[in-house]
Amino acid sequence: MSLEEMRASSARADSPLTAAIMAGRWIRSAAIDDEHGRRWLANPDARGASAVTSEPWSLYSGAAGIVLFFLELATATGHEAYLEDARAGARRLAATWREQDDLTLYHGLTGVMIALMEAGWTLGEAGFEAEAAAIADLIVRRGVEQGSGDGVQWSRDPAQRGEGGIILGLLRAATHLGVPAYEEAAVEAGRRIARLPVPGHRFGDCADLPVDAVTPGFLAGTSGTAFLLARLYGVTGEDRFLRAARSGAAFVREVSHVTGACAVVPHHVPQARDLHYLGFCSGSAGVARMFYELYRVAGDPGDLEWAGRLAHGIVSSGVPRRRTEGYWNVACQCCGTAGVIELFAGLWAATGEERHLEYARTLAADLIGRATDHNGQGYRWYQAYRRLRPGEVTADTGYMVGAAGIGTALLHLDAAGRADHPRRVVLLPDNPFPAIPLPSSLFTGD
């Protein structure tokens, strides 16, 4: 592919919904059916490579995330064909999940469980929810076995990428499936995490980081674990969880760079205090979720103020007009523009502040302009997923790394702009914002 073909079209002015439909067209071109159902290639381009190691089932880059996207696309458009896409993918997940061993949210069975619960509810197929319950049973059983009589434990990693995501998934399953035992296991595991001095990160356990580095971010760091502990406080009312969450939040505030009403978070300390990611995984868009969750469950206006500081820091950086070291050529949910759109659409739904929605629309216009449709098969986004490998440019179909997640962010923004036709959107367990993305003031007249 030539550089000209990869260049963004500044003249493209599709609506978020139209762009999401075009993303769905490209994802459909990647479908592969077999006797079990449907999966999707990570990148259907001729000679196309994927940004990540193949995980054809996962929420991060595989079928679980794509199933969620098609469920949302069907809701947004009213087209039954997208439900058939989701049904075929869910059928394969239900038939093959026992072949997987990873239990985590983004890369393993917890994410598959979330997809099957949503598919079962939307499609009215109890069999998918039964398979989700079987996964939850397995996760609880493994936690008891690996705890070896010392409570429930799956790993030594408390972050969202490890036990944190599993616990959030079990809390969702307890509510969705009506099984209190799932919540009990989640809370028991959470109590052990709450005893950590500053929850969230094991030293030296992140790829490409120094062995004494500490990450304050969301997926692999303190903020994501503090989010989990705040969620557990909201579920149980136990002060131990709130104290632990505040410990994590205090650490994040301490290491952040604050200028007036703006704040940015270092990627890791002490070595990279001046490297400020803006996206979800390790930057402001994820950390702001933690502060908003604290505000949601405990009601301290100072936490909402900090979420606003982080949002203001993103705006003040000048993106999307300019690229920064922490906002490079990347479009996806994990570390790029789509994850930032999710933050601002969510903040608008939570606060009703119009500036948040307007900025989300600015980001979306830039994102849509960067889409490529060089062969008429739909929109994809070429990006340098790994910041340290700027020449490694790929396009993916998946949720956290590619078109499914980008399309989902655009669908959430579309829903936020439709007060006359409110609809539920599918939010992952680590998203604290309203599932119907409209401010309450639109309904109360305030």
Contact between 336 and 314 (Cβ < 8 Å): no
50 phi-psi bin (left φ>0, alpha ψ -120 to 50, beta other): beta
Reported pTM: 0.94
Axis-axis angle for helices 16-28, 403-416 (nearest 10): 150
pLDDT of residue 5: 36
Instruction: State the alpha helices, DSSP H only, in 124-280.
Output: 126-147, 165-177, 180-194, 222-236, 239-255
Contacts 24+ apart (CB under 8 A), 140-145: 140/170, 140/181, 140/182, 140/185, 142/103, 143/185, 143/189, 144/185
| Start-to-end C-alpha separation, the chain | 52
Contact between 310 and 287 (Cβ < 8 Å): yes
Q: What is the mean pLDDT of each run of 10 residues along the chain (446 residues)?
A: 38 83 97 97 84 89 98 97 98 97 97 98 98 98 87 90 96 98 98 82 64 88 96 98 96 95 93 92 97 98 98 96 92 97 98 97 97 91 88 92 98 94 96 94 66
Q: Which of 28, 45, 170, 145 is nearest to 89 (CA)?
A: 28
pLDDT of residue 333: 97
Bridge partners, 38 (sequence order): 33
Contact between 361 and 413 (Cβ < 8 Å): yes
Q: Which of 407, 410, 386, 389 is nearest to 398 (CA)?
A: 407
Rounded CA-CA distance 60/42 in Å is 11
> What's the maximum distance between 2 C-alpha atoms anywhere in the chain?
62
DSSP helix/strand/coil, 327: strand
pLDDT of residue 201: 57
CB-based burial, 71-86: b 16+ in 10 Å, e otherwise? bbbbbbeeeeebbebb
The length of the chain is: 446
Contact between 224 and 288 (Cβ < 8 Å): no
DSSP 409-428: HHHHHHHHT-TTS-------
Q: Given 3-state DSSP classes, what are the helix, strand and coil percentages for the chain, each rounded to the nearest 5?
A: 50, 5, 40
CA angle, 105 then 120 then 162, to 5°: 5
Rounded CA-CA distance 356/351 in Å is 9
Distances in Å between the Cα of 26 and the Cα atoms of 155, 222, 376, 407 are 37, 36, 9, 11
- How many CA atoms does the CB half-sphere of 324 hold within 13 Å? 21
